[in-house]
Amino acid sequence: MDKLTREEVLHVAHLARISLTEEEIEKFRGELKILMDDIDKIKEIKDFDEEMMYTPVDGNARLREDEIGDMLSAKDATINAPKKNGSFIEVPVMINE
Amino acid sequence: MSKYLDLSIKEIHELLVEKKITPLNLVEEALERIEAAKDLNAFITVNDKVREEASTLGEVDPDNLFFGIPIAIKDNIVTKDLKTTCASHILDNFIPIYDATVVEKIKNAKMLIIGKANMDEFAMGSTSETSYFGAPLNPHDKKRVSGGSSGGSASAVAGGLVPLALGTDTGGSIRQPASYTGLVGMKPTYGRISRYGLVAFASSLDQIGPMTRTVYENAALLNILVGEDEKDLTSVKKEKEDFTRFIGDDIAGMKIALPKYFVSEIVDKEISDRIKEIISLLREKGALVDIIDMKYLDTAVNLYQIIAMAEASSNLARFDGVRYGFRADNIDSVDSMYAKTRGEGFGDEVKRRIMIGSYILSGENAKTYYDKALKVRDDITKEFARIFKDYDLIIGPTTTRVAPMLGMTKDDPHKAFMDDVLVIPVNMAGLPGLNVPVGINSEGLPIGLHIIGKSFAEATIYRLASFIEEVER
């Protein structure tokens, strides 16, 4: 069976910000190739118009007035955060001096 | 064990009005049934406050048909203070701080949320086997799947645990499990029901809808769910209508199209034969049924893969381990937090789709794949419009085969999409589509008829569906 290279798998995994184990890299080499071949079939469709359809909704989205509405409390906003400190969410250091 | 939940909603309602039973009786019965049918694995979370909620309705007079009726909610629809996991490890401790708009409507009608139904992880799959919590089983044959992605909703209703459930349908995820389990399942027109509070998979395709035992109960539940919502700017404003209004009408004069592709060699013979019998019956009763050519139907899976995976890769970027959900240990930077959290938090199917989706949207690929898919999507939509100039409805089988055995499509990334080949075109065009059961095959497994309508013509779909249901009875 045709497979992607290890590098190709790591490339799409990086685009998706997903870390993979060695075992997964090997497994996805074959599985992702099947999907890549599937999506490539779009190239075979010759009979089509240029107009694109982004959404089934006619006339596209209405927009709300840009007004301040309901707001979350700090408690609600952080209630599901996996790591927090008081009303702040903790993340790893982003900028190293 | 009492048997109130086997009655129709109308009969249950009468008992509630006459105060012969209480909502608590119904909830107790549903909880007993869920406990007794634990092996179906229909629920991820059972609402441990539901007895309390039912008790508060004890002294209240029923004000609508669904008052006090237990309902299952698919676990990708957020429920305030009730765990919502999307069947994923990455959200397995997530407690929403608000209700989805449909959940608000259900609570306003004083229905009782019995629990959160199992599903494919983030609704990605066609057998519910991608669930982090294991697959729900088909009550007709526990060695078989109940379909997906709304497989838990289907198992719960078909197994008699609750009379009603909400599912969601991005590429057939209400209609296909309804077909596999012998239920009525409606994917309404895109925009008919607010998606606010539905955890997004593919935003231009996703739609919430009812899964029920009967056509009437489906239409009546849809009455409650619909409406424009300022929190979902793709929801559409429409005149209020009663979706049950054509139920029981005769079908003489209805114009129905059956595309050849829907009874081609891709469909199991026993199923095509059953559909052909239905056609003869419809003609006998005065409906016009034409077998027609329809272009682009065979491209729909291809379009779906591209559009759904691309939109999913963007929507699921929000799961980063910062604000909610699971965060991996042993991280030394923001980048490693993202990648390890997502690597450990998502299952294989979700990873595959996000990776391919990211690839589809990267650089020039967006033109080659995504833009091209949107062009053909426009063509398929126009093709539906062309057919609907001459016909009221389009019909066909909902699925190419009956419910498969457990494990048959697992880890086959291609087959998972092919289960939905007949239902996906409807999502492309944003049209309403419904599964109505049309008997069983030689193994005793349900077969489903798929009825597709014009945009916002759900009531016409229910008209034909109710006729077929009556004949089947």
Q: Cβ contacts of residue B22 below 8 Å, gap of 6+?
A: B16, B54, B57, B58, B68
- Under the banding of pLDDT at 50, 70 and 90, the label for residue B462 is very high
The shortest C-alpha distance from A8 to chain B (Å) reads 10
Phi, psi of B229 (to 5 degrees): -140, 125
Contact between B377 and A52 using a beta-carbon 8 Å cutoff:
yes
The shortest C-alpha distance from A7 to chain B (Å) reads 13
Q: Is residue B12 part of a domain?
A: yes
- Under the banding of pLDDT at 50, 70 and 90, the label for residue A32 is very high
- Total tally of structural domains belonging to chain B: 1
Instruction: Give which of A42, A51, A63 to mutate to test B binding, by max B Cβ within 10 Å.
Output: A42
What domain range is B221 assigned to? 4-225
Residues of B carrying an active site annotation: 74, 149, 173
Q: Is residue B297 part of a domain?
A: no
Structure tokens at A71: 């707001």
For residue A29, pLDDT beyond 60:
yes
CATH at B182: 3.90.1300.10
- Total tally of structural domains belonging to chain A: 1
Residues B176-214 have pLDDT tens digits of 999 999 999 999 999 999 999 999 999 999 999 999 999
Q: What is the pTM of this model?
A: 0.97
What domain range is A35 assigned to? 6-44
Residues B317-330 have pLDDT tens digits of 999 999 999 999 99
For residue B287, pLDDT beyond 70:
yes
Residues of A in contact with B313 (CB under 8 A): 16
Q: Is residue A24 part of a domain?
A: yes
Phi, psi of B273 (to 5 degrees): -60, -40
Residues of B in contact with A53 (CB under 8 A): 374-375, 377-378, 381
Q: Is residue A20 part of a domain?
A: yes
Q: Is residue B450 part of a domain?
A: no
pLDDT of residue A59: 66
Of B95, B358, B373, the CB nearest to A42: B373
List, edge to edge, every strand of the sheet that includes B43-46.
B43-46, B112-117, B70-74, B164-168, B208-212, B184-187, B433-440, B446-453, B393-397, B255-259, B288-292
Is residue B67 within 8 Å of B57, Cβ to Cβ?
A: yes
For residue B15, pLDDT beyond 70:
yes
CATH at A21: 1.10.20
Element (H, E) at B222: helix B215-225
Q: Is residue A84 part of a domain?
A: no
Q: Is residue A65 part of a domain?
A: no
Of B94, B322, B379, the CB nearest to A48: B379
Complex ipTM > 0.90: yes
Percent of chain B with pLDDT over 70: 99
Q: Is residue A68 part of a domain?
A: no
Of B343, B381, B455, the CB nearest to A53: B381
Residues B388-404 have pLDDT tens digits of 999 999 999 999 999 99
Q: Is residue A67 part of a domain?
A: no
Structure tokens at B467: 């006729």
Instruction: Give which of B104, B359, B414 to mutate to test A binding, by max A Cβ within 10 Å.
Output: B359
pLDDT of residue A84: 94
Q: Is residue A11 part of a domain?
A: yes
pLDDT of residue A60: 58
Q: Is residue A33 part of a domain?
A: yes
For residue A1, pLDDT beyond 70:
no
What pairs with residue B258 in β-bridges? Answer: B291
